[in-house]
Structure 1
Amino acid sequence: MAAYSALDFMTRSTGGKGRAPGRSRRSTQGATRKAPVVRAPRKPSAWLNRIIILTGAGVVLVAALQAYISLQAIPVRRVMVTGELEHTRTELIQDMIQPALVGGFLRADLQLIRSQLEELPWIYRATVSRRWPSALEINVIEQLPIARWGDSGFLNHEGEVIDSGNSEEWRSLPLLQGPEGSAKRLMAGYQRILEILAPLHLEVAQLQLDQRDQVEVVLQGGTRLLLGSEDFLERMHRFVAIYRTQLASRAGEVERVDLRYETGVAVTFAATSQVAGIQ
């Protein structure tokens, strides 16, 4: 009983741990210090990203809208007219297009301006373009009369009628006459006849088409060529061949050449009114 008490006493005196006498007690406070925790920055949430994107887009849109409105307000400050103009005044063109420029530089209807210009009698073709920052450039090609058409008016190279009034400047041009609606056909035929006659250095004074489709050519100098209503270009080639071989030496005497035969021609000479058949 006494031994148990002594053992119990020793245990209590050592703090109940059973350490041997003389061994120092090791302090445990602060023996394992934890590293400081560094937290990663938080990413913006999805809704914040959307707000940023929408705000940026709104700023860009407003800026673009303001720029567009500013451009719309720019007036046309200058109209440049280029091209060789002999019958159309530059001032007439500039005055004519003013109503189309009221809306400003960007709103000017270029297609409308072009159409209006090409309705002028002497304007064959017009092109209209913008030149930054506030100018329009108009290039004009005037009509070039190739022949007179009937009692008044002229034809261009496409057979289009030029309503130019009684211009004395072009009265020396060849005369083309034909039924209504035949202008383009006659102009095409006239140009082919010129090509055929070019080697002979003969020029056309008149080209006529009557109601029966009979074609007649009057050369400079008065010689008449009766070509009929069929194959008149082929008959012109026949005239060239006969002229070279038999008529060139008497060209001034030839009054009329009738080519309405399948082969050969009938030639009337002015001095004697003699009609000669030539094969």
Structure 2
Amino acid sequence: MASKKRAAQRGATRRPEKAARREWHVPAWIRSIHWSWVVAPVLLVGLFLGGREMVDRWTIQDVRVTGDLTVWNAADIISQVGWIKGQGFFSADLQGVYDNVLSMPLIKEVRVKKRWPGYVEITVREDIPMAVWNSNKLIGISGDLMAIPAHLNVDKLTLIQGDIEYMDKAVKDYRLIQQALAPVQVNVRTLSLTETGSVELDLSNNWRVALGRKNIEARARRLLKVMKRLPADQVAEVDLRYGKGAAIRWQPQQEKG
């Protein structure tokens, strides 16, 4: 028995439908953060550069000096730091001003401040000249060694001579001696230290004095007693390098004609 074949379908056939593709969209808030990372630094740099250019239009126009000045005057200090004028108010090199002023001889303390709208204020405190060291340096009352300002007259200052290793000792001894001699108003014109550190003096009353190396304060007090007992114009030299007393060399007697 013949089987009946199923008739073939005619006409267009449907394609099987593909599954819809799922697309992922970046949330708006993430996109905004992403762009802020790029834009924000650019804006900040632009604002910084633009702001700096704007504020630097305000410049330092003047330098003013205050303080109790004796050796220097305000014009001397201003001339030392005149280069600060014209610098931006906010970018001015105050450290450079401080270093320049402090490097000047006898300037002991410096304060530097910017003052609106456009000047620098410098406050200074001077050291006091105490003595001359080896004819070419100055010793301040603080004991610091420094150059001698060209305009400073040092003729009336004590001359201290010796090796640099004895400088601290010389300053200490000098102070003790000056303090001891204050009641008789006799000054030390020259204080010399030998190679062994022994102290020798040339005084304003024209006495030559040997104090030795030790017990300087006690020997200076003994020198004061000698001054009060002996006529200054008859003494040439005093040697106090003994445990007690003093050796005296008298001025030569002038013959009367």
State how far apart, in whole Å, the 2-side matches of 1:241 and 1:98 are.
Answer: 55
The 3-state SS of whatever aligns with 1:182 is helix
Q: Does 1:144 align with 2:128?
A: yes
Query: RMSD across aligned C-alpha pairs, in angstroms?
Result: 3.2
The 3-state SS of whatever aligns with 2:129 is coil
Displacement after TM superposition at 1:214 (Å):
0.7
State how far apart, in whole Å, the 2-side matches of 1:134 and 1:168 are.
Answer: 33
Gapped runs of 5+ residues in structure 2?
1-28, 34-39
Q: Which residue of 1 aligns with 2:247?
A: 266
Contact kept? 1:76, 1:134, Cα under 8 Å: yes
State how far apart, in whole Å, the 1-side matches of 2:119 and 2:106 are.
Answer: 24
Displacement after TM superposition at 1:266 (Å):
1.0
Q: Does 1:214 align with 2:195?
A: no
Displacement after TM superposition at 1:113 (Å):
1.4
Considering Cα pairs closer than 8 Å and 6+ residues apart, tell me whether 1 or 2 has the greater RCO. 2
Aligned pairs for 1:1-279 (under 5 A) are 69=52, 70-71=54-55, 73-83=57-67, 85=69, 88=72, 90-91=74-75, 93-100=77-84, 104-164=88-148, 169-244=153-228, 246-247=229-230, 250-272=231-253
State how far apart, in whole Å, the 1-side matches of 2:181 and 2:72 are.
Answer: 34
Contact kept? 1:80, 1:137, Cα under 8 Å: yes
Question: Normalized against structure 2, the TM-score is what?
Answer: 0.69
Displacement after TM superposition at 1:84 (Å):
5.1
Q: Which has the larger radius of gyration?
A: 1
Amino acid at match of 1:152: N
State how far apart, in whole Å, the 1-side matches of 2:97 and 2:225 are.
Answer: 52
Gapped runs of 5+ residues in structure 1?
1-46, 52-57, 274-279
Displacement after TM superposition at 1:219 (Å):
1.3
Alpha-carbon distance change, 150 to 167 in structure 1, aligned in 2, over 3 angstroms: farther
Contact kept? 2:71, 2:152, Cα under 8 Å: no
State how far apart, in whole Å, the 2-side matches of 1:212 and 1:272 are.
Answer: 34
Question: Normalized against structure 1, the TM-score is what?
Answer: 0.64
Contact kept? 2:186, 2:205, Cα under 8 Å: no
Displacement after TM superposition at 1:183 (Å):
3.2
State how far apart, in whole Å, the 1-side matches of 2:172 and 2:210 are.
Answer: 18
Contact kept? 2:127, 2:140, Cα under 8 Å: yes
Moved more, 155-164 or 171-180: 155-164
